[in-house]
Amino acid sequence: MKFFCITVLCGIFLWPALSVFPQDAPDAAATAKAVAAAAALDSARRLDTIRYGTETEIASLIQALKNENDLSLDKELITVARNTRNRNILSGVFSFFGDRAQAGLEDRALKAIEERDEEANDTVLAAVTYLGNIKSTDAAPYIQELLDSEERPFMSACIKALGLIGGNMPAGDPGKQQAAVAAPEPVPQTESLAGTDPGNGEEGEGDETGGSIPEHTNTARETSLQDARGTASQDKQETASQVAASRRPKEDAAELARYLIDFYNNRSPGDENRREIIVALGDVKSPAGLPLLREIAENNDERAPLRMSALEALAKIGDSDGLDAVLLSVESADPNVRSTAVAALGPFKGSEVDNAIIEAFRDSYYRTRMAAAQAARDRRFVEAVPYLRYRAERDDVPAVKDEAIKALGTIANPEALDILSSLFSERKNADRVRLLSAEMLIQNKADAYTAKLIEELDEAKRKNQTPLYNGFLRVLGMAKTPVLEDLAKRFFFSGGVVEKAYAMDMVANNDFRSLADTVREYLDEKNGSLSRKAHATLEKMGLSG
């Protein structure tokens, strides 16, 4: 009887706690609705900031959009940019769009260049940088006009932008590059050429037929500028050929390279801007730049930074006519020039190149050994694998070990993967070696190595090796393999904030849709950073919150 009474009393006191009434049950629909309402409110607030905010508020918003990679307000930002001259707002918008190579602001950027006397220098610089980042070929004559004005604040940005734009142009004919270097003074225009019509299709059609014309006369550049701005309205009866005849053909990469060489030789740009021109010639990637680049690279009396930039540019162009200059520089007494030359061997082929790379692994200067590993990586040089193993295991400089491991990961033949597996599995190795080796293995064969990596992850946690544990988490978060689904479930069930965040990376990278509802459980703003991560994860998967 006593036992019965106790049972009844317990039931009376515990019943409210154990009962789940319908009104107390979690309402997933209500939660989703609340989350959507909060998101809509946040979007409305951001829109109000763009419309009515101060320059500081708008700049902060742009930074937030950058951090979140949020493109939803692009149209509104374009509208703001077109209707303001505020330097902070324009610089922020140009930067946000330029970082993504996102078109849409070309007209405002060109206006900033044309009306630069009415704009802040920061705005003009941001506009030029933006046009370079989106590789707008139509902007080239505007930027050349600005560079020709020799206004020092804009010179470096103009040169960089022209390099990027030139890499997006048709190749053109590099046949006149020798004249551009050997005879930097403008060549007088001949009488016969002066009388030709550049659009009439006859022999003497400008530089397309190989005739000697001035390298970039003011008249030609003014004509090109007018063409980029758009020709005047044509009569509706005008034929297509007449329209074509009224326009100068668009500049190509070879012409732009010759223009930059002429500026280098004849316009006294200063040492730093000379270096920028050399870099730009590499970005243009036209063989027209080779003679100047070879001359600089081979000149022992030239400043080392210019020689190094020339070697890097020769590598970018990758034309075999530049190889002799690179091989000659491999023997340089200057260790910095020597290491740069070895790194520049990557795009080239041949036994001389192979031998130079192998020999560079023995160089006493650590940067040259790093360069040898980089060149072996660029060429996927299988014969270098034993040398890479030696460097990865025994080099005294951690940075050399890093480059050797990266090269092994790029070559990724069975021998290289076995070496990486050994480096990763050896628990006596430095964390840096193990983590980078694991990353290379996962990039190449995630299905084969993920289980072993999870095993080492758990071992690192058991031994409280926090940096190693976090590093393994990062590598697993990047992996693409179905093997990770169980680990993601485990992290959601028992992991901390860090583990749950990486679990969401695994879900997004592998499209684990079976875990989408689990991700949705973290949408509520009370989850802080996990809420933002959940939104981003579902968006990446193309799913609604």
Q: Is the CB of residue 339 less than 8 Å from the CB of residue 330?
A: no
Question: How far is the C-alpha of 453 from the C-alpha of 120, rounded, in Å?
Answer: 54
Residues 186, 193: Cα–Cα separation, whole Å = 15
Residue 498 contacts residue 477 (beta carbons within 8 Å): no
CA distances from 201 to 204, 515, 540 (A): 8, 65, 53
Instruction: Please give the Cα distance from 138 to 128 (Å, whole number).
Output: 12
Between CA 189 and CA 211 the distance in angstroms is 10
- Residues 260, 289: contact at Cβ < 8 Å? yes
In the three-class reduction of DSSP (H, G, I as helix; E, B as strand; rest coil), residue 412 is classed as coil
Secondary structure, 3-state, 432-475: HHHHHHHHHHHHHHHHHHHHHHHHHHHHHHHCCCHHHHHHHHHH
pTM, 2 dp: 0.74
Report d(CA 226, CA 500) in Å as an integer. 57
Q: Alpha-carbon distance 8 to 2, whole Å?
A: 10
Instruction: Give pLDDT, residue 183.
Output: 35
494: which 2 tokens? 């028992």
User: If one looks up domain 43-168 in CATH, what number appears?
Assistant: 1.25.10.10
Amino acid, res. 443: Q
pLDDT of residue 33: 56
pLDDT in tens, 431-443: 999 999 999 999 9
Q: How is residue 307 written in tokens?
A: 């020689």
Task: Judge contact between 335 and 323, C-beta under 8 A.
Answer: no
State both tokens at 446.
């995630």
- With left for phi above 0 and alpha for psi between -120 and 50, is residue 230 left, alpha or beta? left
Going from N- to C-terminal start, the domains of the chain cover: 43-168, 482-540
- State residue 34's pLDDT score: 56
CA angle, residues 145, 148, 149, in degrees to nearest 5: 95
According to the model, what pLDDT value does residue 200 have? 37
CA angle 72, 77, 83 (to 5 degrees): 160
SS (H, E, C) 298-332: HCCCCCHHHHHHHHHHHHHHCCHHHHHHHHHHHCC
| Digitized pLDDT (tens) for each residue of the chain, 545 residues in all | 444 444 444 444 444 444 433 344 445 555 555 555 555 567 788 888 988 889 899 989 998 888 888 888 899 999 999 999 999 999 999 999 999 999 999 999 999 999 999 999 999 999 999 999 999 999 999 999 999 999 999 999 999 999 999 998 888 777 654 444 443 343 333 333 333 333 333 333 333 333 333 344 444 444 444 444 444 333 333 433 333 333 334 578 999 999 999 999 998 888 899 999 999 999 999 999 999 999 999 999 999 999 999 999 999 999 999 999 999 999 999 999 999 999 999 999 999 999 999 999 999 999 999 999 999 999 999 999 999 999 999 999 999 999 999 999 999 999 999 999 999 999 999 999 999 999 999 999 999 999 999 999 999 999 999 999 999 999 999 999 999 999 999 999 999 999 999 999 999 999 999 999 999 999 987 878 899 899 999 999 998 76
Q: What is the pLDDT of residue 238?
A: 40
Is 61:46 a contact under the CB 8 Å cutoff? yes
pLDDT in the model for residue 174: 75
Q: How far apart are CA 320 and CA 246, in angstroms?
A: 39
